[in-house]
Amino acid sequence: MTSTIHDSSPLAKPLKLPLSSIAEIAAEPVLVVAPHPDDETLGCAGAIALLRARGYTVQILVVSDGAQSHPNSQKFPAPVLTALRAAETDRAMAILGVESDQITFLELPDGAVPHAEAPGFEAAVSACYTYLKTVTPKLVFAPWRSDPHPDHQATWQILTAALAQAVLSPRVLEYPIWDWDPQQRQLSSPDFQAAWRLDIAEVVTLKQQAISAYCSQTTDLIDDDPTGFRLSAQMLENFAQSWEIYLERNP
């Protein structure tokens, strides 16, 4: 990757992006799609809290089971870790005003969410299609399609294929997660139609509380896997702002 790509990313100079209010995007039903348990909170907690405070219905779809964040833990083998991360999602969403019956877990394999043409892709699209037909969202928050994490890219592919099958055309707002890391950044200015910030100042404290609900990702709760994942303080700083960044692209 070149410095030109890094410099042209709106994440390089976020304060130059226009600031919008929740009233400018609000529509329902709302669907937030997360590749892993916690992405919905890192990327969209402010939007979720603002929409719920105004009475909008918000559904959460978590695609992977999150079981590979600590693959060598004896205390938290995969089934236990899957349950833990689902419980963390429930707690985080409760803080933001989303009831547990509004959260759906597809439980696709963490680290192996199928990409287009990979084994399991059509089955994943079918499961997503069935879900979308019950929700029929007007506004969708989805992971940035070129996010460096392959599960995020695959999630966007699954969602896009399922929306097409369901003949649904909601407004789709894409949120960056790992593109915040300059060493991984792939986002360049020709790749999107619009980038802007959502003002979440009134709920930024709630967002931080919701992020803290993911103890398995932010603390040493799982202490028996030295290879295990933990969000760094530097990474978390990107999600402590009084705004969130969203991107929209031409079809």
Task: Please give the average per-residue pLDDT across 217-233, as a whole number.
Answer: 94
Q: What token pair was written down for 191?
A: 């790749």
pLDDT (0 to 100) of residue 188: 54
Domain count, the chain: 1
What CATH number does residue 243 fall under? 3.40.50.10320
Res. 162 pLDDT band, cuts 50 70 90: very high
- Looking only at the bridges linking them, the beta strands covering 243-248 and 194-199 are antiparallel
106 lies in which domain range? 3-248
Strands (E), 96-237: 103-108, 139-143, 171-175, 194-199
Q: Could you read off the pLDDT of 48-97 as tens digits, one per residue?
A: 999 999 999 999 999 999 999 999 999 999 999 999 999 999 999 999 99
